[in-house]
């Protein structure tokens, strides 16, 4: 089974293709869990995917046979007054290996990497991680709560998919002591 999470981005074309294939599997099997559509991901080029992996913090979990079985990422909020926040996105674990700690490993590893990011003149350290999760996605909500994420808002009708609306919970976790700011 899964051993460790690795950072993606330097694994070339085969890594980018494996990442894209897993994201497509997620978008096909669990479409309501993600804001993007299958079609949006399907047309992305390998170069575009590699650029995404390098621009963000994206981790993957491999099986012993090197198959990618889970992924997740953090992208920075872009506006300059919000770039102390990281947005968790694209969390997906292959269906046949769920419930064995892979999702937790991805989330813990992302948090560890966010905490280890060295601030520069251009970018601050990550002070907070945020995510959005659709109502009713209990496995994901439970996972996030178990890692200390708390809800700070709810957006009704956040997602529109096949003519139906679904609400989203906004959750976050501070990486610094917010009271001491």
Ligand X SMILES: CC(C)(COP(=O)(O)OP(=O)(O)OC[C@H]1O[C@@H](n2cnc3c(N)ncnc32)[C@H](O)[C@@H]1OP(=O)(O)O)[C@@H](O)C(=O)NCCC(=O)NCCS
How many residues sit in the footprint of ligand X (CB under 6 A)? Answer: 21
* By CB under 6 A, residue 28 contacts ligand X: no
* By CB under 6 A, residue 137 contacts ligand X: yes
Are 128 and 86 a contacting pair, CB within 8 Å?
Answer: yes
Report DSSP letters for 88-153, one per residue.
Answer: EEEEEE-GGGTTSSHHHHHHHHHHHHHHHPPP-SS-PPP-EEEEEEETT-HHHHHHHHHTT-EEEE
Binding mask 88-127 for ligand X (x = CB under 6 A): ---xxx----xxxxxxx-----------------------
When the beta carbons of 34 and 126 are compared against ligand X, the nearer one is 34
CB 113, min distance to ligand X, A: 17
* By CB under 6 A, residue 163 contacts ligand X: no
Burial class (CB in 10 A: 0-12, 13-18, 19+), 93: buried
* By CB under 6 A, residue 140 contacts ligand X: yes
* By CB under 6 A, residue 86 contacts ligand X: no
When the beta carbons of 80 and 142 are compared against ligand X, the nearer one is 142
Where along the sequence are the contacts to ligand X (CB under 6 A)?
26, 30, 33, 91-93, 98-104, 133, 137-140, 142-143, 146
């Amino acid at each position: 089974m899964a051993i460790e999470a690795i950072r993606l981005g330097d694994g070339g074309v085969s890594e980018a293709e494996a990442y894209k294939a897993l994201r497509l599997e997620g978008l096909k099997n669990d479409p309501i869990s993600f804001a993007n559509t299958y079609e949006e991901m399907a047309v992305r080029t390998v170069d575009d995917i590699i650029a995404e992996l390098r621009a963000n913090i994206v981790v993957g979990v491999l099986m012993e046979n090197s198959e990618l079985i889970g992924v997740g990422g953090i992208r920075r909020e872009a506006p300059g007054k919000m770039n102390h926040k990281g947005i968790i996105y694209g969390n997906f674990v292959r269906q046949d290996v769920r419930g064995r700690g892979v999702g937790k490993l991805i989330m813990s590893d992302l948090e560890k990497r966010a905490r280890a990011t060295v601030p520069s003149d251009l970018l601050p350290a990550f002070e907070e991680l945020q995510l959005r999760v659709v109502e009713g996605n209990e496995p994901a909500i439970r996972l996030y709560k178990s890692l200390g994420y708390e809800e700070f808002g709810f957006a009704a009708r956040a997602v529109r998919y096949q003519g139906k609306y679904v609400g989203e919970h906004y959750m976050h976790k501070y990486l610094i002591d917010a009271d001491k700011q």
